[in-house]
Amino acid sequence: MTLDFFIQNFINAMQWGSFLALIAVGYTLVYGVLLLINFAHGDIFMVGAYTGYFIGTFLTNNFEIKLPFDLPSWVVIPVTIVATMFITALVGVAIERIAYRPLRNRGAHRLYLVITALMFGLLLEYGNLALLGASDRQFPNLFDKIIYSIGGITVTNIKIYVILLSFLSMGILWWIVQKTRWGMAMRAISYDRLAVPLMGISVDQIILFTFVLGSSMAALAGIMYGTAFPILRFNMGMLVGWQAFIAAVVGGIGSIRGAMVGGYILGFTQIFVAAFLPSTYRDLIAFVVLLLILAIKPTGLFGVPRRTKV
Amino acid sequence: MKRFGMPALIGISFLICIVPAWLGWYSNYIQFIITLIGINIILTVSLNLINGYMGEFSVGHAAFMGVGAYTSSLLTVYLLTENPFFGKAILPEELSILIFPISLLIGGVAAALFSLLIAIPSFRTRGDYLAIVTLAVNFIFKSAIENVDAIGGPRGFMGMGKVVKAMDNLVSFPWLIFWTFLVVVFSIFIIRNFINSTMGKSIVAIRDDEIASELMTVNTRWLKIVAFMLSCGLAGVAGGLHAHTVTFINPSSYFILQSTYILVMVYLGGMGSLSGSVISAILFTILLEMLRPLDVWRWVATPLLLIILMLFRPTGIMGSRELLDVFPKLKKYFSSLQERLTNAFIKS
């Protein structure tokens, strides 16, 4: 148990926690605005990763249809990221339009919304399995991997990019939510849903914006996950997305700060558990942690308990 | 006699399900489908107790099915067969006819005890958070079994086929269909009586308004424990039957997809409608089998079906009414005049 061991695991945990935090933020944003746990969000992460795979493969000329010229990597990377975020945001918005909005407008019981969300997640997952087949895909190599060795620690440049990019995006997200008018409207809806339209703000537009924001973050996480762990599988939405969901609940669903902190807490727990116990226990430990935290503090670490009038 | 409705129904189903199988008129495939329909009826009826009558939102029912499946399979295979996991058989094969129902019962009890994992959190949480807890229990079950290599872990467990064959060698009778039939009748009987009793009415009161029912002397904690244990115990027995029907089980067969199937059947039938659950279980099993040529698209069709259901008919086929409410003239064959008058008074 040397210092090197701890620092190595610390860096791995920061990377893993970044993925979980980015996806958890999406869950929290939608819950804050709609009071709905968007169970389909983990599979939106999967859609982001696969979209990034297709676009990246196309742009790096590894696809069946080849471009007549080769693009340099400083063009490929931003184009892939932006295009993937855009398309995944479209998917998120489509789900909201097709499923959630008609049920909301009809005033349907929240239970039906939750079931629909769960089913949409499964639909995306099994649709992927049916359309693309069961074999795993390999994410294209967008940047060359450089390995740095400092003392006994090996760090790849990808890990550093992931951590930096996550912090940057979470910073931008925080700025949007706290300092812009759209963000103010999102926070207003989570405080008092009925007063917002009275103030001349279109609730539908804000909800749209929330879904765009959450889905783009998930898409970014998908691309980075594909770069760091290049094998894509149809059930990665369930594998990674559910853990991010636990992170959001642990941090307190409805609180963006909670989602970010929860992501890193869960990431650290999982990496350090896997360092000492066989790695098959990772999921088990994650869910036991969830149950324990829900038993002690049912609304999560930073969550605000919702009061119901009797 | 006037009240011949229920015995007639049971007799007719016995004639349709068991006698032709005994005489060998049904192929193995049809016997398999009949057993599966029975298992799905048990699962749907038990989940309807929690999701429909009590108004909770439990999406992890397959985990309890899995607990029952693994427990009863481990017992029968350990005791009765020679297998690569445990070595030689302990008891002679002739006892299999006796051991099988006992192992189902023990599987049910194990699942009922496991259900305390969601019953106790349900004291403090409702709605979305309980859904999270039940999902977590689903994942915990799967991960826990996958980590126990002695019973196969993710590779699965088998050997139940030998037990069924041993029973068949002793007395040539469709044992699995028979036991499934018995458990179906038993579970519908128990749940129907439970719902019509004082405890059942208290459970419906918890759904309507938990705090008001606490004020009206309803012991919500005790009732939640009873309801969860009953429901998950029945699911455990269904799991034991399922394991012996498919003779090979692994943790992923009792995971989210299976939970989704049970959820679809409950909401398709209508929350709070027993006859709706039975009808939708039969319909859904047949539908799923008819979609078999579609291969993987079957697994796309199930969530799609539930989404369409939620968008267009969220109350399900029967809503919260029973079949006898739709055909009121049949009531005189099923319940006595006194029962009908009492129920009419309470329902109005």
What is the tens place of the pLDDT at every residue in A3-47?
A: 888 888 888 899 999 999 999 998 888 888 888 888 899 999 999
What is the tens place of the pLDDT at every residue in A105-147?
A: 887 777 788 888 888 988 999 898 888 888 888 888 777 777 8
Which of A126, A129, A245, A266 is the best mutation test for B, with the most CBs of B within 10 A? Answer: A126
pLDDT of A94 reads: 92
Report the pLDDT averaged over residues B259-283: 89
Q: Do A242 and B128 touch (CB under 8 A)?
A: no
Q: Which of B127, B263, B311 sits opposite A102 (nearest CB)?
A: B311
pLDDT of B347 reads: 60
Q: Which of A110, A123, A298 sits opposite B124 (nearest CB)?
A: A298
For residue A102, the chain B residues in CB contact (below 8 A) are 311
- For residue A86, pLDDT beyond 90: yes
Domain annotation covers residue A3: no
Contacts of B61 (CB under 8 A, 6+ apart): B43, B46, B47, B134, B232, B235, B259, B262, B263
Whole-number Å distance between alpha carbons of B348 and B345 = 6
pLDDT of B108 reads: 95
pLDDT of B190 reads: 93
Domain annotation covers residue A290: no
Q: Is A94 on the interface with B (CB under 8 A)?
A: no
Q: How far is CA B250 from CA B71, B143, B180, B247, in A?
A: 13, 11, 21, 10
pLDDT of A1 reads: 61
- Nearest chain A residue (CA) to B147: A280
Share of chain B above pLDDT 90, in %: 32
Whole-number Å distance between alpha carbons of B348 and A223 = 59
Predicted confidence band of residue A49 (pLDDT cuts 50, 70, 90): very high
What ranges in B81-209 are assigned the alpha helix state H? 96-114, 116-119, 127-147, 160-170, 175-196, 198-208
A73-82, B19-28, B148-157, B241-250: which is most confident: B241-250
The larger pLDDT score, comparing residue B180 to residue B173, is at B180
Which of B51, B114, B143 is the best mutation test for A, with the most CBs of A within 10 A? Answer: B143
pLDDT of B203 reads: 92
Q: Are A4 and A153 in contact (CB under 8 A)?
A: yes
Q: Do B307 and A120 touch (CB under 8 A)?
A: yes
The larger pLDDT score, comparing residue B232 to residue B153, is at B232
Burial of B7 (0-12, 13-18, 19+ CB in 10 A): exposed
pLDDT of A292 reads: 82
Domain annotation covers residue A181: yes
What ranges in chain A are assigned the alpha helix state H? 3-34, 41-59, 73-95, 101-105, 110-132, 157-179, 181-191, 195-198, 203-228, 236-251, 256-276, 282-296
Q: Do B139 and A119 touch (CB under 8 A)?
A: no
- For residue A71, pLDDT beyond 80: no
The total number of structural domains that make up chain A: 1
For residue A293, the chain B residues in CB contact (below 8 A) are none
For residue B260, the chain A residues in CB contact (below 8 A) are 118-119, 122
Q: Which of A109, A111, A126 sits opposite B296 (nearest CB)?
A: A126
Quick one: DSSP state of residue A255? -
Q: Is B125 on the interface with A (CB under 8 A)?
A: yes
Count CB-CB contacts under 10 A for residue A242.
22
- Nearest C-alpha neighbor of B83 from the set B248, B240, B245: B248
Which of B47, B140, B255 is the best mutation test for A, with the most CBs of A within 10 A? Answer: B140
- Nearest chain A residue (CA) to B125: A298
* Angle formed by the axes of helices A3-34 and A181-191, nearest 10°: 70
Q: Which of A102, A120, A287 sits opposite B140 (nearest CB)?
A: A287
Whole-number Å distance between alpha carbons of B213 and A308 = 16
Q: Is B208 on the interface with A (CB under 8 A)?
A: no
pLDDT of A85 reads: 93
Q: Do A114 and B57 touch (CB under 8 A)?
A: yes
Min distance A104 CA to chain B CA atoms (Å)? 11
A60-74, A265-279, B172-186: which is most confident: B172-186
Whole-number Å distance between alpha carbons of B175 and B165 = 10
Predicted confidence band of residue B345 (pLDDT cuts 50, 70, 90): low
Angle, vertex CA B293, rays to CA B292 and CA B299, nearest 5: 50
Angle, vertex CA A290, rays to CA A285 and CA A294, nearest 5: 150
Predicted confidence band of residue B159 (pLDDT cuts 50, 70, 90): confident
Angle, vertex CA B131, rays to CA B304 and CA B237, nearest 5: 85
Predicted confidence band of residue A309 (pLDDT cuts 50, 70, 90): low
B69-73, B252-256, B310-314: which is most confident: B69-73
Burial of A279 (0-12, 13-18, 19+ CB in 10 A): exposed
pLDDT of B111 reads: 95
Q: Which of B131, B306, B310 sits opposite A103 (nearest CB)?
A: B310
- For residue B2, pLDDT beyond 70: no
The larger pLDDT score, comparing residue A166 to residue B333, is at A166
- Map residue B39 onto helix, strand or coil: helix
- For residue B104, pLDDT beyond 90: yes
What ranges in B209-273 are assigned the alpha helix state H? 210-215, 220-246, 256-269
Min distance B336 CA to chain A CA atoms (Å)? 37
Min distance A144 CA to chain B CA atoms (Å)? 36
Report the pLDDT averaged over residues B194-201: 90
Contacts of B142 (CB under 8 A, 6+ apart): B63, B66, B251, B252, B254, B255
- For residue B304, pLDDT beyond 70: yes
Q: Which of A37, A122, A129 sits opposite B128 (nearest CB)?
A: A37
Min distance B64 CA to chain A CA atoms (Å)? 17
Q: Is A218 on the interface with B (CB under 8 A)?
A: no
Token pair of B277 as six digits: 């659950």
Using only the alpha carbons of chain A, give its radius of gyration.
20
Q: What are phi and psi of B83, to 5 degrees?
A: -150, 165
Which of B128, B259, B294 is the best mutation test for A, with the most CBs of A within 10 A? Answer: B128
For residue B121, the chain A residues in CB contact (below 8 A) are 291, 294-295
**Segments forming the whole domain that contains residue A85:** 26-234
Token pair of A80 as six digits: 């892939």
For residue B131, the chain A residues in CB contact (below 8 A) are 37, 114
- For residue A291, pLDDT beyond 90: no
- For residue A307, pLDDT beyond 70: no
Whole-number Å distance between alpha carbons of B279 and B274 = 9
- Map residue B90 onto helix, strand or coil: coil
Q: Are A125 and A221 in contact (CB under 8 A)?
A: no
Q: Is B267 on the interface with A (CB under 8 A)?
A: yes
- Map residue B209 onto helix, strand or coil: coil
Predicted confidence band of residue A306 (pLDDT cuts 50, 70, 90): low
Count CB-CB contacts under 10 A for residue B262.
26
- Nearest chain B residue (CA) to A287: B136
Share of chain B above pLDDT 70, in %: 98
For residue A280, the chain B residues in CB contact (below 8 A) are 143, 146-147
pLDDT of A91 reads: 93
Domain annotation covers residue A229: yes
Largest CA distance in chain A: 68
pLDDT of B72 reads: 93
Q: Do A130 and B296 touch (CB under 8 A)?
A: yes
- Map residue A279 onto helix, strand or coil: helix
- Nearest C-alpha neighbor of A227 from the set A152, A162, A178, A132: A162
Q: Are A263 and B160 in contact (CB under 8 A)?
A: no
ipTM for this prediction: 0.80
What is the tens place of the pLDDT at every residue in B23-81?
A: 888 888 898 999 999 999 999 999 999 998 988 888 889 999 999 999 999 888 888 87
What is the tens place of the pLDDT at every residue in A145-197?
A: 778 887 777 888 888 888 998 999 989 998 998 899 988 998 888 888 888 88
Q: Which of B124, B267, B303 sits opposite A122 (nearest CB)?
A: B303
Burial of A6 (0-12, 13-18, 19+ CB in 10 A): middle
Sign (positive or negative) of CA dihedral A291, A255, A121, B270: positive
Share of chain A above pLDDT 90, in %: 20
Mean pLDDT, chain B, as a whole number? Answer: 86
Min distance A51 CA to chain B CA atoms (Å)? 20
pLDDT of A238 reads: 82
Token pair of B290 as six digits: 């008819």
pLDDT of B180 reads: 93
Token pair of B315 as six digits: 């109350």
For residue A277, the chain B residues in CB contact (below 8 A) are none
Q: Is A172 on the interface with B (CB under 8 A)?
A: no
Q: Is A131 on the interface with B (CB under 8 A)?
A: no
Which of A119, A245, A283 is the best mutation test for B, with the most CBs of B within 10 A? Answer: A119
